């Protein structure tokens, strides 16, 4: 009886660990925070953006909704690139727990909400 209880407990723990990354990760694990830097670039307010992945798995091909996005200052296209589908983050490469940061300048902030990602758990 103790052996079957131990086996059942082991299976439950294993399944919980395996499913933890897959079932709990979603777009909601991508946090996009924006704040004013206090600086002006070409007469426009400068905004600092930090994108963080709070999922234990990496997220790739992250696309943000960025309809009408503009910037008076140049943004490194490997960090954020406007495409027909939205703004591609980090050249589509994996976003781990390290934040992706960039700045842009415009009169107001843009709602840079995640609309797509691929979750890769190993």
Domain coordinates in residue numbering, the chain:
2-120
**pLDDT at residue number 18:** 44
**pLDDT at residue number 43:** 96
| pLDDT exceeds 50 at position 19 | no
| H or E, element range at 44 | strand 44-53
Q: Is 81 exposed, middle or buried (0-12, 13-18, 19+ CB in 10 A)?
A: middle
* pLDDT digits 0-9 by tens, 48-96: 999 999 999 999 999 999 999 999 999 999 999 999 999 999 999 999 8
Q: What is the pTM of this model?
A: 0.78
Strand partners, 88: 63, 81
Taking a C-beta distance cutoff of 8 angstroms, is the pair 62, 88 a contact? Answer: yes
């Amino acid at each position: 009886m103790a052996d079957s209880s131990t086996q059942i407990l082991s299976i439950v723990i294993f399944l919980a660990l395996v499913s933890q990354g897959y079932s709990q990760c979603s777009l909601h694990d991508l946090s996009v925070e924006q704040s004013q830097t206090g600086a002006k670039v070409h007469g426009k307010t400068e905004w600092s953006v930090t994108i963080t992945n709070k999922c234990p798995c990496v997220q790739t091909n992250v696309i943000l909704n960025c309809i009408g996005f503009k910037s008076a200052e140049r943004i490194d296209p490997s960090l954020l690139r406007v495409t027909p589908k939205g703004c591609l983050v980090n050249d589509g490469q994996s976003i781990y727990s390290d934040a992706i940061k960039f700045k842009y300048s415009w009169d107001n902030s843009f709602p840079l909400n995640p609309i797509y990602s691929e979750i890769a758990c190993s």
